[in-house]
């Protein structure tokens, strides 16, 4: 971080001008809790049929449906087709979006249609790269669910395909475009927490659904499910409902907690602090409770090292996932700096600053004589370490979204469709997506090797 963006300069700017206060309203009184309302302006226009963006969904599962529902809230967007390998989901697509939409089990039929402008790819992870590259080459704009890739070596082909196609490709960490992220980035760059020294991220769950034990439809069998196509490049195995409907539990198709959850955190972290990512990871964990045939951990702890760059000091990040949290569940994402801490959510940001103790207390003075204690106190007092400015720079402020906020998921699609119309630059392009996915996948690599692993965040390569 630029050294001019420290707490002292931040408080000074906020104190001197009302303009500074309006852009970064901060605490100027000790022990004060203050709430600020975030705002976002949308540019809405009337879209004719010629301006309408027709979309198709490839992978009509849980996330695919939520993605599509959010996408359709954006003006001028219409769904015309859906693809899935389970016939029941195609029936569900017609229930949700009309009997007239085209449905198929073959994603290639989607890509061959001339009336489709953009595709939403919400398949299992091991299909992301194949379908994304094919869609870009077919001239479609792409919204691909995170993680962008299942393996480190898949990302460069997506980057190349996007560049050569000239089409828009947005990676779907749906919280990326949130008001919370936007404000957190502004606050960080303005020096609200000083130099970052640690990230603390955790996600605790306490339900079978939260641990990916998704329900299996009663009509699922080899007739209603195209299991062979689902396997794709994965090892050939006999038909298995668990593998199809609970694919996140298997390394052959998913990326475990790292690809499902870590990647969201890396997307936010790298965006807020303008970083390319970590250069080292060390993971541990295990399968502690959900021994249902899965081959990925349900408890995971990974420590990451971030190197010093122009935008941040060197720091450490701790990621923790617990799928059997007896506490009942919960989560958090907190940046801790030399001058404060920032807790970031999609709908809010809270900054807390405490007074840094610079003068000795009775604890460390107890071993000296009364006379010596008095001399030491006098010496520290002459240094004027305990200033009025340091006292004013303490307290807590929360910035939160208004009640009518459309949500981060909507904002991510608004960003996607706006840039399709303007040929602009999305907030999470394939390069950004690979950096987030690559950092997350380091956890799996370290866990598998049982040793630390190194990563080049600039070149996006495993070392």
Question: Is 83 within the bounds of a domain?
Answer: no
Q: Which two tokens stand for residue 10?
A: 């931040």
Question: Is 423 within the bounds of a domain?
Answer: no
Helical pair 62-71 and 87-97, crossing angle rounded to 10 deg:
20
Question: Is 189 within the bounds of a domain?
Answer: yes
Question: Is 285 within the bounds of a domain?
Answer: yes
Q: What is the CATH number of the domain that holds 366?
A: 3.30.360.10
Question: Is 107 within the bounds of a domain?
Answer: no
Give, in order, the Cα–Cα distances in Å from 299 to each of 204, 320, 332: 9, 8, 16
- Dump strand ranges (E) for 98-226: 102-104, 118-121, 141-145, 169-172, 196-204
- Rounded Cα distance between 332 and 28, Å, is 26
- Rounded Cα distance between 198 and 245, Å, is 37
Q: Output the pLDDT for position 394.
A: 78
Question: Is 139 within the bounds of a domain?
Answer: no
> Total domain count for the chain?
1
pTM, whole model, 2 decimals?
A: 0.90
Question: Is 65 within the bounds of a domain?
Answer: no
Q: What is the dihedral of CA 323, 324, 330, 336, to 10 degrees?
A: -70
Q: What is the mean pLDDT of each run of 10 residues along the chain (463 residues)?
A: 51 38 41 81 72 96 98 96 98 98 98 98 98 98 98 96 98 95 96 96 97 98 98 98 98 97 97 98 98 97 98 98 96 96 96 85 90 91 70 81 95 97 96 97 98 97 94
- Rounded Cα distance between 254 and 238, Å, is 18
Q: Which two tokens stand for residue 29?
A: 């009184």
Question: Is 292 within the bounds of a domain?
Answer: yes
Domain that holds residue 245: 179-213+240-407+430-462
Is there a contact between 154 and 145 (Cβ–Cβ < 8 Å)? Answer: no
Give, as one character, the DSSP assignment of residue 248: G
Give, as one character, the DSSP assignment of residue 37: E
């Amino acid at each position: 971080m630029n050294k001019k963006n420290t707490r002292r300069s931040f408080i000074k700017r906020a104190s001197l001008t009302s303009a500074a206060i309006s852009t970064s309203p901060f605490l100027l009184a000790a022990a004060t809790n203050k709430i600020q309302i975030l705002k976002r302006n949308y540019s809405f226009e009337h879209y004719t049929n010629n301006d309408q963006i027709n979309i198709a969904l490839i992978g009509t599962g849980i996330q695919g449906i939520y993605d599509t529902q959010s996408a359709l809230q954006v003006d001028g967007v219409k769904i015309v087709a859906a693809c899935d390998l389970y016939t029941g989901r195609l029936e569900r697509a017609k229930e949700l979006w009309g009997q007239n939409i085209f449905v198929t089990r073959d994603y290639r039929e989607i890509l061959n249609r001339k009336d489709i402008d953009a595709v939403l790819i919400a398949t299992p992870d091991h299909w992301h790269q194949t379908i994304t590259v094919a869609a870009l080459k077919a001239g479609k704009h792409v919204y691909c669910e995170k993680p962008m890739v299942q393996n480190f070596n898949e990302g460069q082909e997506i980057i190349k395909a996007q560049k050569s196609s000239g089409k828009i490709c947005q990676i779907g960490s749906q919280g990326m475009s949130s008001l919370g992220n936007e404000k957190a980035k502004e606050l960080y760059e303005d020096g609200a927490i000083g130099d970052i020294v640690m990230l603390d991220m955790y996600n605790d769950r306490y339900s079978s659904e939260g641990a990916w034990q998704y329900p299996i439809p009663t009509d699922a069998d080899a007739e209603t499910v195209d299991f062979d196509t689902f396997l794709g490049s994965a090892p050939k195995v006999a038909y298995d409902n668990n593998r199809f409907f609970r694919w996140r539990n298997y390394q052959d198709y998913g990326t475990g907690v790292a690809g499902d959850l870590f990647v969201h955190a890396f997307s936010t972290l790298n965006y807020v602090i303008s970083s390319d990512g970590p250069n080292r990871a060390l993971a541990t964990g295990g399968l502690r409770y959900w021994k249902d045939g899965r081959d990925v951990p349900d408890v995971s702890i990974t420590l990451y090292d971030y190197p010093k760059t122009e935008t941040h000091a060197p720091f450490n990040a701790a990621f923790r996932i617990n799928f059997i949290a007896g506490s009942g569940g919960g989560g958090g994402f907190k940046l801790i700096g030399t001058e404060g801490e920032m807790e970031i959510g999609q709908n809010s940001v809270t900054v807390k600053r405490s007074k840094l103790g610079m003068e000795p207390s009775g604890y460390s003075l107890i071993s000296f004589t009364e006379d010596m204690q008095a001399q030491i106190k006098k010496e520290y007092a002459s240094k004027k370490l305990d200033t009025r400015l340091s006292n004013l720079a303490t307290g807590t402020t929360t910035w939160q979204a208004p009640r009518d906020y459309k949500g981060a998921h909507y904002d991510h699609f608004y960003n996607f469709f706006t840039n399709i119309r303007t040929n602009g630059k999305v907030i999470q392009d394939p390069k950004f997506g690979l950096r987030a996915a690559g950092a997350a996948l380091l956890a799996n690599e370290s866990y598998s090797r049982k040793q630390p692993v190194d990563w080049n965040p600039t070149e996006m390569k495993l070392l």
